[in-house]
């Protein structure tokens, strides 16, 4: 993301997982760690996706350490595509490796990564340590079994998304009474709207 981005690998369930860590500038301790998940590995998704980088910049500006990573089989990460189940385990392994004990956690994801993020949030809640923030951008709730995340999650979707129809996300959110932020005229990848996407995350995730 920038020259200060730290790149390293952590042990994953199917092999090493390539990670990128960005930290807030200055000496005060961070607010916690934000784990950010990228789009579908078989359709060009990587941790350097522009939407995922925008999420990382947003969380760093808000004072969080932002951790991006490549799912198994992507970039320098070992293993191969596991239809979502193994990718959830990848995300959990990265979080366990990068989180300081007792540290607050934020979870975010874009598209397929949004589906994975819902399951990470569920595991945290079941363990008695719910995520402080959950941010989902264009979550792939139609093609993958995303789970409920609760009414405090931030869900951002493009009005003209032709990959994950807005109607599908509304159907998923409705039983949870979960509000959506809809960006008029935006498609799935938020081309030309990344600045606005970042501003929405900043506005919605300030304490």
pLDDT tens string 115-131? 999 999 999 999 999 99
Higher pLDDT, 154 or 4: 154
Question: What pLDDT score was predicted for residue 27?
Answer: 65
Question: What pLDDT score was predicted for residue 1?
Answer: 61
Distance of CA 93 to the CA centre of its chain: 14
What would the pLDDT profile of 144-188 be if each residue is shown by its tens digit?
999 999 888 999 999 999 999 999 999 999 999 999 999 999 999
Question: What pLDDT score was predicted for residue 77?
Answer: 98
3 pLDDT above the threshold of 80: no
**Rounded Cα distance, 176 and 45, in Å:** 28
Q: Is residue 21, in this structure, part of any structural domain at all?
A: yes
Total domain count, the chain: 1
Question: What pLDDT score was predicted for residue 147?
Answer: 98
Q: Is residue 1, in this structure, part of any structural domain at all?
A: no
**Rounded Cα distance, 153 and 77, in Å:** 29
At a CB cut-off of 8 Å and minimum separation 6, what does 108 contact?
A: 34, 35, 36, 37, 55, 59, 117, 133, 134, 135, 136, 137
Question: What pLDDT score was predicted for residue 44?
Answer: 97
Residue 63 confidence class, pLDDT cut points 50, 70, 90: very high
The mean predicted confidence, pLDDT, of the chain is 96
Question: What pLDDT score was predicted for residue 200?
Answer: 98
Q: Is residue 56, in this structure, part of any structural domain at all?
A: yes
pTM of the model as a whole: 0.97
Q: What is the CATH number of the domain that holds 185?
A: 3.40.50.1820
Q: Is residue 93, in this structure, part of any structural domain at all?
A: yes
**Rounded Cα distance, 156 and 194, in Å:** 12
Once rounded to an integer, what is the mean pLDDT over residues 25-29? 77
Q: Is residue 194, in this structure, part of any structural domain at all?
A: yes
**Rounded Cα distance, 113 and 171, in Å:** 19
**Nearest residue to 13 (alpha-carbon basis) of 112, 67, 91:** 91
Question: What pLDDT score was predicted for residue 151?
Answer: 80
25 pLDDT above the threshold of 90: no
What would the pLDDT profile of 70-106 be if each residue is shown by its tens digit?
999 999 999 999 999 999 999 999 999 999 999 999 9
**Residue 49 structural domain:** 6-205
């Amino acid at each position: 993301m920038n020259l200060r981005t730290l790149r390293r690998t952590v042990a994953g369930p199917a092999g090493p997982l390539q990670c990128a860590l960005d930290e807030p500038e200055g000496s005060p301790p961070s607010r916690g760690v934000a784990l950010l998940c990228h789009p579908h590995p078989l359709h060009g998704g990587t941790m350097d996706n522009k939407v995922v980088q925008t999420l990382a910049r947003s969380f760093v500006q808000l004072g969080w350490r932002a951790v991006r990573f490549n799912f198994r089989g992507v970039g320098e990460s070992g293993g191969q595509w596991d239809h979502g189940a193994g990718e959830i385990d990848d995300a959990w392994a990265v979080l366990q490796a990068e989180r300081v004990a007792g540290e607050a956690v934020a979870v975010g994801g874009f598209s397929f990564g949004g589906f994975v993020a819902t399951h990470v949030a569920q595991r945290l809640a079941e363990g008695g340590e719910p995520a402080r923030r959950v941010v989902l951008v264009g979550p792939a709730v139609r093609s993958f079994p995303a789970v409920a995340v609760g009414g405090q999650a931030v869900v951002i979707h493009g009005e003209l998304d032709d990959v994950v129809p807005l109607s599908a996300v509304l159907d998923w959110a409705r039983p949870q009474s979960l509000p959506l932020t809809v960006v008029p005229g935006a498609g799935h990848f938020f081309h030309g709207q990344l600045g606005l996407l970042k501003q929405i995350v900043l506005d919605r995730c300030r304490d």
